Amino acid sequence: MSEIKKVVLVGVSSHFALLLKNPQAGGAVGPSILQALSESPFDVTVFSRPDSKTSLPSNVKSVNVDFESVDALTNALKGQDAVISTLGAFAPHVQTNVLNAAIAAGVKRVIPSEFGSDNTNPKAKALPVYRDKVAAQDFLKAEADKGKITYNLIFNGPILDWGLMVGFLIDAKNKKAELYDGGDGPFSATTGASIGKAVVGALSHPTETKNRPVYVQDAVVTQNELIELAKSAGQDGNWDTKVVSTETLEQNSYIELGKLAKGEQADPSWPFGFIKRAVWGEGFGGKFAKVDNELLGVKGMSKNDIQALIKQFI
């Protein structure tokens, strides 16, 4: 496959705006990818809405685009080699527009918004929270089979630094944790910086990564291991912990989803029950069987590295 030189990033301004409103709402993967791309040899452009005021690195171009118009997106994407979406669950119809426009514009490679659990795992794939992501995968596979596009899916597990910062994995600052299925289930996790490196690595090896998932992790850990590392980092003594069943979380999320289907008010955090099931539920693929770290240029982290990371959030 020919070399990728010109890259478009979509969704980074959406992440900035969301994080300003609620730092716990997203993993800030867009800014992390932007940072890595800005330090790479690629010619990088960010697509933004006309009202966006996102500050970008000096070597990154910004183009205002009407995301509701496939024609406008197609015109903006002409001459580009790759497009990366970090839109996530916030605007699935916008990602659909971007994917259709990329194909119409002759873009070589698309990386859709994944950057989380391995939802090619049959159990994870069936969870409603991944419905739109699975639909995007199926669309890209069908178009790739026709020779119209190539794609990557990037799976990295929970974002390690974000998960520690907001208490999604453990709350080291307050010595609290919900231990999912007991807290001894190993899971793959990756920092935002390493996710950015993985994107650059995938684009730098277009033939080796063509039309397949790539897996990256900084470490395989358990929640109880993270607690022990936090204790060694100074948070010793008694912790407030509670064992939580991910099966129960999944069931509760279905109940809340049912309320939405009836037009009733539901707990807005319902997606997280499904996400936690995908990370920690047995058989859901939370621990990757194989990774592409070497190909992607991701070194990984030692226990000492993770302990140093935890110290940042104490």
Contact 20, 26 (CB under 8 A): no
229-277 pLDDT, tens per residue? 999 999 999 999 999 999 999 999 999 999 999 999 999 999 999 999 9
Average pLDDT of the residues in 128-134: 96
163-210 pLDDT, tens per residue? 999 999 999 999 999 999 999 999 999 999 999 999 999 999 999 999
Q: What is the pTM of this model?
A: 0.93
278-295 pLDDT, tens per residue? 999 999 999 999 999 999
What's at 20, amino acid-wise?
A: L
Q: How far apart are CA 54 and CA 3, in angstroms?
A: 29
Residue 12's pLDDT band, with cuts at 50, 70 and 90, is confident
Percent of the chain with pLDDT over 70: 93
Q: How far apart are CA 206 and CA 213, in angstroms?
A: 12
Average pLDDT, rounded, for the chain: 93
What's at 161, amino acid-wise?
A: D
Residue 53's pLDDT band, with cuts at 50, 70 and 90, is low
- Quickly list H helices, 126-175: 131-145, 160-166
Contact 44, 62 (CB under 8 A): no
Q: Is the pLDDT of residue 109 over 90?
A: yes
Contact 84, 102 (CB under 8 A): no
pLDDT at 127: 98
pLDDT at 92: 85
At 278 the three-state DSSP class reads helix
Lowest mean pLDDT among 1-5, 114-118, 293-297: 1-5
Average pLDDT of the residues in 21-42: 76
pLDDT at 26: 43
pLDDT at 25: 41
Average pLDDT of the residues in 55-72: 93
